[in-house]
Amino acid sequence: MTTRTEKQEDSMSTATTPTRAPHSDVPTGHKEDRVGAGLFDPRQLVKSLPDAFRKLDPRVMIKSPVMFVVLVGSVLTTVFSFKDPGDWFGWTISAWLWLTVVFANLAEAVAEGRGKAQADTLRKAKTDTVARRLVGDTEERVPGTELRVGDLVVCEAGDVIPGDGDVVEGVASVDESAITGESAPVIRESGGDRSAVTGGTKVLSDRIVIKITTKPGETFIDRMINLVEGAARQKTPNEIALNILLASLTIVFLLACATLPPFADYAGTQLTMVVLIALLVCLIPTTIGALLSAIGIAGMDRLVQRNVLAMSGRAVEAAGDVSTLLLDKTGTITLGNRQAAEFVPVGDTTEADVADAAQLSSLADETPEGRSIVVLAKEKYGLRERHQDELFGAEWIEFTAQTRMSGVDVDGRKIRKGATASVISWVEEQGGTVAEDADEIADRISEAGGTPLLVAVDDEQGARVLGVIHLKDVVKDGMRERFEELRRMGIRTVMITGDNPLTAKAIAEEAGVDDFLAEATPEDKMALIKREQAGGKLVAMTGDGTNDAPALAQADVGVAMNTGTSAAKEAGNMVDLDSNPTKLIEIVEIGKQLLITRGALTTFSIANDVAKYFAIIPALFAAVYPGLNKLDIMGLASPDSAILSAVIFNALIIIALVPLSLKGVRYRPVSADRMLRRNLTIYGLGGLIAPFIGIKLIDLLISLIPGIG
């Protein structure tokens, strides 16, 4: 029994130090209001337009095969128009093809511009500071840019931290608002999992010694700036595969268009080069080709808005395919601080007696557990809140890891509260006895997932156990519903905890997770991740300590807490700047939203192209093949009007879909087959219908222009 209770009550050994204000757990989804301008904010469009024109560089355009073909087509139609300056049709087609390319670039530029707004904020935190470098026992002042990995620097209140590193001596309050947007300071101290500091943040109190862990130019802020600006964004595997598919379709349609002139000659009609290029541009999947890059950038930007930095687009994409989620119990599923739930008397003792003794013994206990005992005694049993200075002559017994008890000696009584085994030993040392039901009550509380603390007294009646305090690890509100959502998404949740199996099972059942790993060691976490991956599953997990680094590196999506060690942040492929472990659930949803948005717009684009066939092919060949008139569903005014209407619609639909590509298709936790049916209904059917309506309306407007209709 001693071994079991020691494991259950380990958290009595240290007081919990809050590292962030209570409101830091609130999701930061509204951050986009302060990060960047909206899509159609004139200032954002003006800033993005020059970038859109700069992207016309063929060396940039060739990265998107579909839009590169449109660019080449724009150049060729312009050349042919110069050969026949009086051909209004050629000039009009050329103008709209150029607008198609510019609109595509503008979509990407606007997406990148939203990231640059965040980068501008980060640059304000990146200052050229003077560092106080330690050389032996002396300090020397050097520019922060001269610091090297392994250098030791001193920072005191008011100093700006000159580079990324770990605190190796001291403890201090640090202002990280320039990076996280969170106004509440955080605690950074040596020797724990909250030792990492970031260059550009400011020390508010005390003195710390920092060991530099990164080179100048490779700091956390430098990497963030590059990533949010898109400078370091690599195409993801799915994005590369989709690009290959789009390039293949482009080649197919290119070959198809190349075979049309012989058919036209045979039929006795003529197709000009301008018409063939317009036909090609309308038939290839320009819509998704134009928006593909913007969708990827916007996915990373949505993470930035929630204060999550993705080290690669691959990590965001992998989050959308995650099938197993490893979640730490403390601070993620539960509040992290155990709270007193009830006082259970033993023998002939009353609840009021237990509450009174428990409150007295906890007045000097500054741990969250101790404070919760005082509050419960006051609220449930009507005991007024007493203070240490009211009890004259009292001798306070502070909690230590050796005694595992706290208490007070006052008015001839000795009151103790602490771990089951420790309190029983104390009572026996005082010559007292322990009621038989004390052990039974403690066991029952343990089996229910709680932590029992015994309360004992030594007075005129002798030493005895008065009762048991039931400490409960409180599950956060709404967690069961969130796990139910994840289950509908097809994601299996596993709770990771250092608790014994009995406690872990009780918490897991209350929270609603699918499975749990109790008494978990770093090796156990690694083994679990590898087992899941061996079964073809993608695994996501969070961590903040050096001992989490191997598992974070092994996981497909490893989210490191910003409050954690440098080793954890280097091992993960995402960093949560708010250090809120529940953010992992939001990250998975954003990843799925990215994949769904890409799939939905691809479906819309291909369906769009099918509808354009009915606009262009009948217009080109109906005169020589009257049977094609049956396909002329739209009844367009003329061949020229039909082609021009399709080209104009092709350009305008890109700019119309930019808000959707940046905002993302709304994600709902439903099964894959329902999601597929929904996409086909909304974006497949919508992609078929929209061109019929859009092209017909544009044709009606064009036909009103004299000389065209």
Q: CA neighbours within 13 Å on the CB side: how many for 645?
A: 33
Is there a binding annotation on residue 405? yes
> What is the widest separation between alpha-carbon atoms in the chain?
120
Q: CA neighbours within 13 Å on the CB side: how many for 330?
A: 14
3-class state of residue 566 by DSSP = helix
Report the amino acid identity of residue 85: P
Query: β-pairing, 492-496 with 324-328?
Result: parallel
- Give the DSSP H/E element, type plus range, for residue 287: helix 286-305
In the set 175, 222, 328, 576, the catalytic residue is 328
Q: What is the C-alpha to C-alpha distance for residues 254 and 68, in angstroms, rounded to an integer?
A: 13
DSSP code of 519?
S
Is there a binding annotation on residue 402? yes
Is there a binding annotation on residue 218? no
* CB distance 550 to 337 below 8 Å: no
Cα distance between the two ends of the chain: 93
Is there a binding annotation on residue 173? no
Is there a binding annotation on residue 406? yes
Q: What is the C-alpha to C-alpha distance for residues 581 and 574, in angstroms, rounded to an integer?
A: 12
Is there a binding annotation on residue 493? no
Closest listed residue to residue 509, CA positions, set 471, 475, 469? 475
Query: β-pairing, 492-496 with 515-517?
Result: parallel
CA dihedral (94, 95, 100, 102) positive or negative: positive
Query: Is 328 noted as a catalytic residue in this protein?
Result: yes
Residue 392: CB atoms within 10 A of its CB come to: 7
The structure tokens listed for 538 are: 């993608």
Is there a binding annotation on residue 484? no
* CB distance 442 to 454 below 8 Å: yes
Is there a binding annotation on residue 399? yes
Is there a binding annotation on residue 369? yes
CA dihedral (61, 62, 63, 69) positive or negative: positive
The structure tokens listed for 673 are: 């087959």
Closest listed residue to residue 307, CA positions, set 202, 179, 201? 179
Is there a binding annotation on residue 182? no
Is there a binding annotation on residue 544? yes
Is there a binding annotation on residue 401? yes
What distance lies between CA 318 and its chain's CA centroid? 12
Is there a binding annotation on residue 404? yes
Beta bridge partners of 477: none
Binding site residue list for ATP:
365, 369, 399-406, 417
Catalytic residue positions, numbered:
328
Going by the annotation, the residues of the binding site are: 365, 369, 399-406, 417, 544, 548
Residues belonging to the binding site for Mg(2+) are: 544, 548
